[in-house]
Structures are given as structure tokens and as C-alpha cells.
């Protein structure tokens, strides 16, 4: 993203033609360091809006690189049990990187546009700079529509792979699972094995209101994306069929 050298730097007046909007801000930031092509200054807009800011400023290369990293980051969550809280430090790091390096990236981007323009006939240079420089809300929205579509397609495709994580998620995304996790201390979901058409998934937890250890065995039919309760154990003792149904209805009613 930084291939410009000091001798290739152009005057800020030339770069104004590329920046077009919010020129005083970038003038201030770039003049605050000895060499804005290699030195970084902080950009709050880039920090908070990251890929939106990159697309808005027509910096397509860093936009696609960071978007690609975000897409790759989502893949492991379908193959192993990773907490969603990991997204916070990941996207926080992305924001810090773009906020820290954004002004330098943009300075080198304007240099690149001017360099490309000089290689063209003089009669079309201004038109080229007007087209490649400035900002564009439509491009920003269009690229993020594409990005969200790719995230949706990735989620749709990977969620149908019969990994242990995806199989457990058939149960874990249900309202009953939410209720069980709220009612229990140390709730855990374990994949046990496959038996014919169904997979055996087990939930364990401690019911702090009733002072009971709870273990529930569920059958997951991944091809139909559905599950059913099979057995309920309270303090290691298996409940009879009637009591198991009553317990399931109790959790189901509490979920509503």
C-alpha cells in the first residue's frame, strides 16, 4: 500500500485535485509529519467506518484486502466452537489498523492517481483525476452490498457442511437452548456420535434454582435441520418418559 518514495511525492496543491472533498483536513494531517508517504497520522472516520471509508475514498485495493480477511475470519467458526466475543478484538484490530494507517494509505493513493494521470495525454488528465479521485457514496454502498452478499453466501454454504459445530448449532440457535443456557450454570453442548440418520448431542448444566445437575440427550437430524429431545437426566437419574416430556414442555413454555 506504500510504494511511493520521497522523490516521487507531489505538491499538496496537486493532490487537492484528487482529494476534492475535505481538503483542509488532509492538508493538516499530511503537513503534521515530515513525510506523509511513510509516517502515520490518526483518522477517526477511518477508525469507526473502516471499509466504508476506504470504499468512499475509492481505495479499492485495501478495501478488498481487508474485506477478504474479514471473509476468511468467518470460516473457522463453522468448524470449531469459537466464541462470538472473538469478533470484538478482531474487528477492533481492523479498526485500529485502518485508523492508524488510513491517512498514509490515502496520501499514497493520491500520488498513484496523479502518476497514472501524467502517463495519459494532457487533454484527458483532468478528467481522469476527477474520475479516480474524490469520493463516491454509490460506490461505497455498492461494494458493501456485494460484501454483505458474499458474507450471506459464505454463511449459507458453510452452514450446510455437517461439522460437529454446525450440527450442535441446529440446537444451540433455538429458543429452548437460550432458555437452558440462561437457567443453568456452566452450560455445555457436546457432540457425542452419529447413529444412522441422526446425530447425538448432549447438553449439560447446573440448575441453580433447583440445585440440580441436568443432562439432556438430543437427536439432531442435520439433513432436515431439526432436533428432538430423547432423554433427560436429573442428578444422574434418568427421568421416565412422562417426566421427560413435562420437563421439555417446561423449558418450551419458558422459552415463549
**CA atoms of 97 and 113, how far apart (whole Å):** 23
Distance CA 133, CA 136 (A): 9
Q: Tell me what pLDDT residue 205 has.
A: 97
Kindly list the domain boundaries of the chain, sorted by start residue.
Answer: 6-158, 164-255
- If one counts every other C-beta atom within 10 angstroms of the C-beta of residue 231, the result is 15
Strand partners, 233: 215, 238
Q: Is 81 exposed, middle or buried (0-12, 13-18, 19+ CB in 10 A)?
A: middle
pLDDT in tens, 169-219: 999 999 999 999 999 999 999 999 999 999 999 999 999 888 999 999 999
Q: How many angstroms separate the CA atoms of 135 and 45, rounded?
A: 14
> What pLDDT, on the 0 to 100 scale, is given for residue 4?
46
User: Measured between alpha carbons, how far is 101 from 38 in angstroms, rounded to an integer?
Assistant: 10
Give me Rg for the CA atoms of the chain.
Answer: 27
- For residue 76, the model assigns a pLDDT of 96
Provide the residue-wise pLDDT of the chain in tens; the chain has 256 residues.
444 444 444 468 889 999 999 999 999 999 999 999 999 999 999 999 999 999 999 999 999 999 999 999 999 999 999 988 999 999 999 999 999 999 999 999 999 999 999 999 999 999 999 999 999 999 999 999 999 999 999 999 999 999 999 999 999 999 999 999 999 999 999 999 999 999 999 999 999 888 999 999 999 999 999 999 999 999 999 999 999 999 999 999 988 6
At 51, list the grid cell.
Answer: 471499509
Q: Using CB atoms within 10 A of its CB, is residue 213 exposed (0-12), middle (13-18) or buried (19+)?
A: middle
- The predicted pLDDT at position 6 comes to 45
Those residues whose C-beta lies under 8 Å from the C-beta of residue 90, and which sit 6 or more positions away, are 73
Contact 15, 111 (CB under 8 A): yes
Per-residue model confidence (pLDDT) at position 7: 40
- The pLDDT, as a whole number, for residue 54 is 98
What is the pTM for the complete model shown? 0.85
Amino acid at each position: 500500500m506504500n510504494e511511493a518514495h520521497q522523490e516521487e511525492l507531489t505538491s499538496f496543491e496537486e493532490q487537492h485535485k484528487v482529494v476534492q472533498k475535505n481538503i483542509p483536513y488532509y492538508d493538516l494531517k499530511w503537513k503534521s509529519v515530515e513525510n506523509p508517504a511513510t509516517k502515520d497520522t490518526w483518522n477517526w472516520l477511518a477508525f469507526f467506518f473502516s471499509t466504508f471509508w476506504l470504499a468512499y475514498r475509492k481505495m479499492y485495493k485495501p478495501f478488498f484486502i481487508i474485506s477478504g480477511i474479514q471473509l476468511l475470519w468467518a470460516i473457522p467458526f463453522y468448524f470449531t466452537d469459537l466464541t462470538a466475543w472473538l469478533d470484538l478484538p478482531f474487528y477492533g484490530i481492523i479498526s485500529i489498523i485502518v485508523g492508524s494507517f488510513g491517512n498514509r494509505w490515502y496520501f499514497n493513493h493520491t500520488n498513484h492517481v496523479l502518476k497514472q494521470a501524467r502517463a495519459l495525454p494532457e487533454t484527458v488528465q483532468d478528467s481522469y483525476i476527477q474520475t479516480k479521485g474524490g469520493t463516491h457514496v454509490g460506490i461505497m454502498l455498492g461494494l458493501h452490498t456485494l460484501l454483505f452478499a458474499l458474507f450471506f453466501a459464505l454463511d449459507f454454504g458453510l452452514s450446510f457442511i455437517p461439522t460437529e459445530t454446525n450440527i450442535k448449532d441446529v440446537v444451540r440457535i433455538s429458543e429452548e437452548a437460550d432458555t437452558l443456557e440462561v437457567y443453568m450454570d456452566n452450560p455445555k453442548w457436546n457432540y457425542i456420535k452419529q447413529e444412522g440418520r441422526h446425530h447425538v448431542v448432549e447438553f449439560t448444566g447446573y440448575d441453580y434454582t433447583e440445585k440440580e445437575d441436568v443432562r439432556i440427550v438430543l437427536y439432531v437430524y442435520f439433513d432436515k435441520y431439526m432436533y428432538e429431545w430423547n432423554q433427560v437426566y436429573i442428578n444422574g437419574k434418568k427421568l421416565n418418559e412422562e417426566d421427560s416430556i413435562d420437563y421439555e414442555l417446561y423449558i418450551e413454555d419458558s422459552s415463549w
